[in-house]
Amino acid sequence: MAITGVLFDFSGTLMRIEPARSWLTAALEATGARLPAQDVDRYAAALEEAGGLPGATPPRAIPPELEELWRDRDKQAAGHRELYTGLARQVPLPDERLYDELYERHRRPAAWHPYPDSLPVLRALAGRGLRVAVVSNIGWDLRPVFRAHGLDELVDAYVLSYEHGTVKPDPALFLAACGALGLAPEQALMVGDDPAKDGGAAALGCAVHLVEHLPVEERPDGLRPVLGLLG
């Protein structure tokens, strides 16, 4: 059966979160809090090691009181916020306001950078008449990010885990995406960066293509092979 639609993961596939240093710097500027310039890199590294930046490095260790939130982090919005502000609080910062601002910053369009070929590939798919859905394990609404970066008009449907109360590789999310596009699973290609989560679509009969979760400057054309898979 011919592929007539593509399902894309979000973080690490179509876009990448900003580096921890610029994330922290933006929060400092927004709150007016201050850190000695020579300490910004150190604090940013500590926050990333603690896992406080969603979409970046997972925490090296999860505090026992946050373990349940970690397991269910992408199933509902309030828990997502509680988890990541809790992880950030493992690092003592000079202003309490920074923890909430860091969380807010990571949801803003400026914190996300599309991979260089995301827009061209989505445009090419639209030009071929293929429908597109974004299927993401996430605890907040990413639609404003896509709108701000000019990608929203090229996405036909969003299936976000926190809106469904379950996460990939649960077949329910892939089925919801296929249903939203009016496709049978055999007509869809799932593109993502996680073999376990995104690769779960294969159990339904979807084709799967994996990309590397790299900084945007290191992966200029990782999505372009998708076009070759569609004939």
Q: Given a cut of 80, is residue 63 above it in pLDDT?
A: yes
Q: What are the tens digits of pLDDT across the range 145-156? A: 999 999 999 999
Please tell me the predicted confidence (pLDDT) of residue 189.
98
Please, which residues bridge with residue 208 across strands? 190
Side chain identity at residue 178, one-letter code: C
Domain 5-16+112-229 sits in CATH at: 3.40.50.1000
Q: Given a cut of 80, is residue 107 above it in pLDDT?
A: yes
With cut-offs at 50, 70 and 90, classify the pLDDT of residue 231.
low
Q: How far is it, in rounded angstroms, from Cα 150 to Cα 125?
A: 15
Give me the DSSP letters along the chain. Answer: ----EEEE-SBTTTEEEPPHHHHHHHHHHHHT----HHHHHHHHHHHHHHT-STTSPPPSS--GGGHHHHHTTTT-HHHHHHHHHHHHTTS--S-THHHHHHHHHHHSGGGEEE-TTHHHHHHHHHHTT-EEEEEE--SS--HHHHHHTT-GGG--EEEEHHHHT--TT-HHHHHHHHHHHT--GGGEEEEES-TTTGGGGGGGT-EEEE-----GGG-SSTTTHHHHHT-
- What residue spans define the domains of the chain? 5-16+112-229, 18-111
Q: Given a cut of 80, is residue 1 above it in pLDDT?
A: no
Q: Taking residues 151-176, what's their average pLDDT? A: 98
Q: What is the mean pLDDT of the chain?
A: 97
Side chain identity at residue 64, one-letter code: P
Q: Given a cut of 70, is residue 178 above it in pLDDT?
A: yes
Please tell me the predicted confidence (pLDDT) of residue 38.
86
Q: Given a cut of 80, is residue 124 above it in pLDDT?
A: yes
Q: What are the tens digits of pLDDT across the range 193-208? A: 999 999 999 999 999 9
Entry pTM: 0.96
Give Cβ neighbours of residue 148 (< 8 Å, ≥ 6 apart).
109
Please tell me the predicted confidence (pLDDT) of residue 153.
98
Q: Kindly state the percentage of the chain with pLDDT values over 70.
A: 100
Q: Taking residues 180-191, what's their average pLDDT? A: 98
Distance between terminal CA atoms of the chain? 12
Instruction: Please count the CA atoms within 13 angstroms of the CA of 11 that sit on its side-chain side.
Output: 22
